[in-house]
Chains A and B, each alone.
Chain A
Amino acid sequence: MLISRRQFLKYCTVAAGALGLSATDLIKLDKALALENGVKVIWINAATCSGCSTSLLNSVYYATIQEVLLSGGALQTLSLEYHPTVMAADGTLATDQAEAASSVFPFVLVVEGSIQVAKPYSSNTSSTAAAGDFCQVGTINDKDTAMDVIDDLAQSDNCLAVLCVGTCAAFGGIPAAEGNITGAMGLLDYFSSGSYAGSTLPTSGDFYYSDEWHKVREKTVNIPGCPPNPNWIVGTIAYMLAHLDLSSLDLTLPPLDSLRRPRMYYGERICNSCDRFVGTAGVQIGGGKFIDNEDPDQIGDPGLRTYCLKYIGCKGSRTKSDCSVRKWHSPGYGSTGINWCVGAGAPCQGCTGNYFPDQMSPFHYIR
């Protein structure tokens, strides 16, 4: 992803309040961006729908596709060395570039999609199927399953930080929903599951806090959402670049909650600033009424846009994100978005939580 340095700084200046960046941070950010050829990013797609990539591309609509795909030059902020969905190179040409980037300190690993650890069932006794074969991403550093590639890159000493973009990479998401046979799980779950390479722990399904888990966890930031808002991704990267110690390349992560989500985006539940919130005692924000789940005419009625969606299955009260303030599809620098799920009359699905989708389902009933 190549956003020019100038565009990036402009974006950060306008959005500085939202990102929690002070003026001195912006000076540091300027220096961080002067890093030779930008910060290298390796983006690995595991079990994913590529929706998170699409969401991120929405945020840089002001950069042409040429800028996105080119790399090199002094004006560069981020150098996206490997991204299977947008890069121009194919096959070994592409994977060679990932190998080259991963052999030099520092690079940032971005994981999209959950890690599938199960071994495909085969009735053929001569089958060569191995654990993780449900997702194969091409040969990078002699590994070819998504599980092994991510395992290798995340534990590499050259890896400065790991960003788990999307609920799948962070917590497992839809591929890990009940009924799946692929053993899908989030990245940190994977490192505590005993499935990773070199593990001496049993793979019984119990979870352990291993040395590798600690090592990977301290450089991991989860950015859940299905998909995450592009501003959450860009903002987290901006924060980390701004607080990067350039001499030692020591990493400072944004303030995180217990699920390793940045507090600045996942700090409050959605209802707190929702237009439809019926309010607590004495405080009324929305229309003060609920959509009646037994009246088909009320569901989807544009005239009732201040009515709370609780009884048709809104999970906003259990979901932490700033969707209701930031909204989606921002039309320009620093503007809030045009609309969001609940604003459009669709109940919140709770996609930023670690129990999406099983604990949020059925989605159209109160639960």
Chain B
Amino acid sequence: MAIKIDPVTRIEGHLALEVNTTSNIVTDVECQTKLFRGFELIMRDRNPRDAVILTQRI
């Protein structure tokens, strides 16, 4: 049986879980992060001291 929890609440950010069970035993769990903003790409070619300001908003 497959259980899907989307969205997972009470966390910071976006998360979904897919749980596969066989006779009430969990056989497989898939964790999906549902958000990509690309902070690494935004940080490129900037003044190093900007990192303090920008990455505190991750």
Query: A residues within 8 Å of B by Cβ?
Result: 45, 47, 49-51, 84-92, 94-95, 116, 120, 134-139, 174-175, 177-182, 184, 226, 349, 357, 361-365
Inter-chain contacts of B52 with A (CB < 8 A)? 363
The CA-CA distance from A138 to B41 in the complex, in Å, is 26
B45 nearest CB across to chain A (Å): 7
Inter-chain contacts of B53 with A (CB < 8 A)? 349, 357, 361, 363
User: Are A89 and B46 interface neighbours, CB within 8 A?
Assistant: no
The CA-CA distance from A84 to B43 in the complex, in Å, is 28
Inter-chain contacts of B47 with A (CB < 8 A)? 361-365
Residue of A nearest to B37 (CB): A175
The CA-CA distance from A191 to B55 in the complex, in Å, is 28
In the complex, whether B42 has a CB less than 8 A from a CB of chain A is yes
Inter-chain contacts of B42 with A (CB < 8 A)? 174-175, 177-180
User: Are A50 and B10 interface neighbours, CB within 8 A?
Assistant: no
B2 nearest CB across to chain A (Å): 13
Residue of A nearest to B4 (CB): A91
User: Are A357 and B54 interface neighbours, CB within 8 A?
Assistant: yes
User: Are B9 and A89 interface neighbours, CB within 8 A?
Assistant: yes
Q: Show 8 residue pairs from A and B whose CB-CB distance is below 8 angstroms, ordered by the A residue.
A: A50-B12, A90-B9, A179-B44, A179-B45, A357-B54, A361-B46, A361-B47, A361-B53
B38 nearest CB across to chain A (Å): 5
B35 nearest CB across to chain A (Å): 5
User: Are A91 and B38 interface neighbours, CB within 8 A?
Assistant: no
Residue of B nearest to A94 (CB): B9
User: Of residues 14 to 43 in B, which have CB atoms within 8 Å of A's CB atoms?
Assistant: 14, 16, 34-39, 41-43
Interface size for B (C-beta < 8 A) is 32
B44 nearest CB across to chain A (Å): 5
Inter-chain contacts of B39 with A (CB < 8 A)? 174
A228 nearest CB across to chain B (Å): 13
User: Are A94 and B35 interface neighbours, CB within 8 A?
Assistant: no
User: Are B10 and A86 interface neighbours, CB within 8 A?
Assistant: yes
User: Are B54 and A138 interface neighbours, CB within 8 A?
Assistant: no
In the complex, besides A179-B45, A357-B54, A364-B49, 8 extra interface pairs with C-beta distance below 8 angstroms are A47-B37, A85-B12, A136-B14, A136-B34, A138-B6, A174-B42, A182-B36, A226-B57
User: Are B7 and A91 interface neighbours, CB within 8 A?
Assistant: yes
Partner of A138, one of B16, B43, B44, B50: B16
The CA-CA distance from A6 to B36 in the complex, in Å, is 41
B46 nearest CB across to chain A (Å): 6
The CA-CA distance from A200 to B35 in the complex, in Å, is 28
Residue of A nearest to B12 (CB): A50
Inter-chain contacts of A94 with B (CB < 8 A)? 7, 9
The CA-CA distance from A20 to B18 in the complex, in Å, is 49
B14 nearest CB across to chain A (Å): 6
The CA-CA distance from A181 to B4 in the complex, in Å, is 29
The CA-CA distance from A364 to B4 in the complex, in Å, is 46
Inter-chain contacts of A87 with B (CB < 8 A)? 9-10
Inter-chain contacts of A49 with B (CB < 8 A)? 12-13, 57-58
B1 nearest CB across to chain A (Å): 15
The CA-CA distance from A83 to B43 in the complex, in Å, is 30
Partner of A45, one of B5, B6, B14, B16: B14
A353 nearest CB across to chain B (Å): 14
User: Are A88 and B41 interface neighbours, CB within 8 A?
Assistant: no
B42 nearest CB across to chain A (Å): 5
User: Are B9 and A84 interface neighbours, CB within 8 A?
Assistant: yes
Partner of B50, one of A175, A180, A361: A361
Inter-chain contacts of A86 with B (CB < 8 A)? 9-10
The CA-CA distance from A24 to B49 in the complex, in Å, is 50
A18 nearest CB across to chain B (Å): 27
B16 nearest CB across to chain A (Å): 7
Inter-chain contacts of A179 with B (CB < 8 A)? 38, 41-45
**Which interface residue of B5, B41, B53, B58 has the most chain A CB atoms within 10 A?**
B53
The CA-CA distance from A361 to B43 in the complex, in Å, is 11
